[in-house]
Amino acid sequence: MLVKHQDPIAAIATAPGRGAVGIVRISGKDLVGLVRAVCGRELQPRQASYLPFRDAAGAIIDQGLAIFFPAPFSYTGEDVLELQAHGGQVVLQLLLARCLEAASAINTHNQKAVLSRLRLARPGEFTERAFLNDKIDLAQAEAIADLIDASTESAARSAARSLSGEFSLAVNTLLERLIHLRMLVEATLDFPEEDIDFLQKADASGQLLRLQESLDQVMQRASQGAILRDGIKVVIAGQPNAGKSSLLNALAGAELAIVTPVAGTTRDKVTQLIAIDGVPLHVVDTAGLREAQDEVEKIGIERAWAEIHSADAVLFLHDLMRYDNPNQPQDALNYIAADAEIMNLLRKNLPAKTPVIDVWNKADSALPEQLSLARTGVLISAKTGAGLDDLRASLLRVVGWQPATEGVFMARERHLQALAKVHEQLAKGAAQLHAVMPALDLLAEDLRQAQQHLGDITGQFTPDDLLGEIFSKFCIGK
């Protein structure tokens, strides 16, 4: 373990701001002396003690609860001291400073080098130590941050499943079966007289097939968890006055965007987080797409296209009232031509995997012949709310959400990439195994790489630079 991981660390473990309770947390080796200095006496392990917290001169900083968790029965696997005081920032800063001062004073008298290195914790360092001390694996550590950041109840439940070890168990089960298959292949290579008949008798082909099927199930659950974690970025696009801001307000159930009959009212993006069946959606209202002369509106349109290019799904809003208008036939033709040009640009600039949903608005006012134009897409009225349930269902369907999926666990993009690499290696291995002349050495290498990619998920083979990137995203004190 690196020296920096041997230093005792301290931090305020509650969020900034006023609160009823605030927590200062210390973790390190052999904190008994610090406990005695800060609390004035020894503490019973894992029992809350109500006592005064005093400064170096003996004056009371606050009164609260102190809990001591001796190693290895703590969150980090080291000695952990938690001081629960009133939640004012000044009080907590004084208490934190007292811990640092007490550690320094102890070492002045007793010459203990370890406590003298007590320092402020880096973001995520408590959880990093829990991982390094084998209290949790990497997938569980990431689930802690995901649980804190969860934006919907479904996301929180999914993160809790990963934290409890469901995702890790699924990955480790795959690992065990993969290692067993590797063992068979390696044994055949070590004892070539056994030849391919040995693998056939051991049903290596069937084992590999069942492993691939199990992997597909894990990938499905993980992909659903990734949707819950990251949410879906949905951009509302279309010409001015199609009803984009009204649609955002209708989906959000609040007047978030300004709505007027004046074309070009929306000059910049307006983003709102909403939930559909527990799935977080980042809905973005954008400026109307057209040839603009106003410099500010031009900038708004450029930003609209930037949002469209990064979208997970695009709602292309059409104004039914401006289609097939008998009173203004030329305007209708111009509007239809502009919509067609926008669709061409969407097809040209968007990745093929990004779905575009045609949304036909103002159904409450449209004529029958205008309604007949909405043969594809979703027919809605942002004004009355008609059709919004169909639109919500369509959105979830096109982004791959499957509400019937059982036991979704939280997953990140790196998890999906690792699982995809495992899938690729197993497919290569299957091709080798089923070849007329199987290349068992290549099959063994495919299985080895698949095992390594699976190990990346739980942290068995994870490099230090990736660990630093992961834990730096945590809040301080966690």
- Residues making up the annotated binding site for Mg(2+) are 245, 266
The count of residues in the chain is 478
Helices vs strands, H then E, count in the chain: 16, 12
Tokens of 201: 């008798």
> Phi first, then psi: what are they for 167, rounded to 5°?
-65, -45
List the one residue out of 363, 398, 356, 357 whose CA is nearest residue 380: 363
Cα–Cα distance between 203 and 256 in angstroms, integer? 61
Q: Which positions make up the binding site for GTP? A: 241-246, 260-266, 285-288, 361-364
Query: According to the 3-state scheme, what is the secondary structure of 277-298?
Result: CCEEEEEEECCCCCCCCCHHHH
* Crossing angle between the packed helical segments 204-230 and 166-190, to the nearest 10 degrees: 150
Binding-site members for K(+) are: 241, 260, 262, 265
Determine contact, residues 128/137, Cβ cutoff 8 Å: no
Residues 6+ apart with CB under 8 A from 50: 63, 64, 65
Question: What is the C-alpha to C-alpha distance for residues 260 and 124, in angstroms, rounded to an integer?
Answer: 47
End-to-end CA distance of the chain: 20
Residue ranges of the annotated binding site for (6S)-5-formyl-5,6,7,8-tetrahydrofolate are 25, 82, 135, 478
Our CA angle for 81, 82, 88, nearest 5°, is: 145
Q: Which residue has the tokens 């296209």?
A: 305
| Nearest-5° Cα angle at 226, 222 to 232 | 145
CA distance linking residue 149 with residue 296, whole number of Å = 35
Binding-site residue positions: 25, 82, 135, 241-246, 260-266, 285-288, 361-364, 478
- Position of tokens 């708004």? 300
34 and 99 in contact (C-beta within 8 Å)? yes
Task: Give the separation between CA 401 and CA 408, rounded to whole angstroms.
Answer: 11
Strands 279-285 and 270-276, how do they pair? antiparallel
DSSP state, residue 379? E
